[in-house]
Amino acid sequence: MNATLRHAAWVLRGNPVTLLAGLGTFVLLLLALIGPALLAYDPVASNVPMALQPPSAAHWFGTDQLGRDVFSRVIAATRLDLAIAASAVALSFAFGAMIGAFCGYIGGRLDRWVGRFVDVLMAFPLFVLAMALVAALGNRVENIIYATAIINLPFYIRFARAEVNVRRNLGWVEAARCSGHGPVGVVMRFLLPNILPAMAVQVSLNLGWAILNAAGLSFLGLGVRPPTPEWGIMVAEGARFITSGKWWLVVCPGAALMFAVLCFNLLGDGLRDILDPRLRT
């Protein structure tokens, strides 16, 4: 553990961008946890006389077409967008890692069937597939989570299968088999824990992509329903007013969305450097 912490500190000293991404991710998580409780304005309460006010000391990000405080809505949307992304990625990671690990270890017919299923799933444009799933199931938050989890599933199945396939005939796996562990025990107790650090990089990258997916669905009207504050909805609603100079309606939620995705992507690059054993020499 101490060696890992020293290596992480060495990577962060040499790559301040990763450190900034980690701090940005911490700020996003903090805003998601306690931000809505500290807001001065109700993010869904209308105040029509104050509609379309530019940024000011009273309203840092201005107000929207219904007089709602944009800053309060951006902060409130942080919790929802991160919750959708984290739930979807957790589901796809849990199921994808187990399915891919067993396929890579057992091989044979199971591996071929699952491989063909993954190939068929990835033959579709994934965002279009998510749109079709949400349209069929209904645009509720839980359905957005399920659709995002399904389109993320192939990445984890393929990754886990490839990593386990490389390790299944190594000496320590043979020793586990000789000590009496069955396929389930070998996969769950030895192989899965061994590949989890490498998969953590994919988790971080998929979090950013899941946020973009949820915002894209909301932008097209297939995601979270108004008046719930969500970054994609806010950009879609503000796009009607951008030609009249009401830039803050698009720029503020768009900047929050860009910041979140950028933080998770850069954090994934940093995790790859920290977890790469070749950099520990």
How far apart (Å, rounded) are the C-alpha atoms in residues 113 and 131? 26
> How far is 202 from 228, CA to CA, in rounded Å?
30
CA distances from 88 to 165, 188, 211, 235, 275 (A): 26, 22, 10, 22, 24
pLDDT at position 121: 83
pTM to 2 decimal places: 0.87
Give me the pLDDT at residue 248, please.
Answer: 92
Q: Could you give the percent of the chain with pLDDT greater than 70?
A: 91
CATH fold for the domain made of 2-41+63-280: MetI-like fold (1.10.3720)
Is pLDDT at 177 greater than 70 in this prediction?
yes
* Residues 107, 171 contacting (CB under 8 angstroms): no
E strands in 21-171: none
Higher pLDDT, 139 or 130: 130
Q: What is the pLDDT of residues 93-122, one digit of tens each?
A: 999 999 998 888 888 888 888 888 888 888
Q: Name the residue with higher pLDDT: 224 or 235.
A: 235
Task: Quickly state the pLDDT bin for 259 (edges 50, 70, 90).
Answer: very high
pLDDT for position 276: 57
Q: Note the pLDDT tens digit of each residue in 23-61.
A: 899 999 999 999 888 888 999 989 889 888 999 998 999
- Predicted local distance difference test score (pLDDT) of residue 162: 87
Do 141 and 82 meet the contact criterion of CB atoms below 8 Å apart? no
Task: Measure the CA–CA gap between 20 and 109, rounded to whole angstroms.
Answer: 46
DSSP helix/strand/coil, 63: strand
Distance from C-alpha of 47 to C-alpha of 64, rounded to nearest angstrom: 9
Provide the residue ranges of all domains of the chain, joining segments of one domain with +: 2-41+63-280
Phi-psi category of residue 124: left, alpha or beta, with phi > 0 → left and psi -120 to 50 → alpha: beta
> Strand pairing partners for 63?
69
Whether the pLDDT of residue 75 is over 90: the answer is yes
Coil/strand/helix, residue 69: strand
User: How much is the pLDDT for 14?
Assistant: 66
Contact by Cβ (8 Å): 164, 195: yes
Describe the crossing of helices 231-238 and 70-106 by its angle, rounded to 10 degrees: 130
Instruction: Take residue 241 and report the two structure tokens written for it.
Output: 């007013």
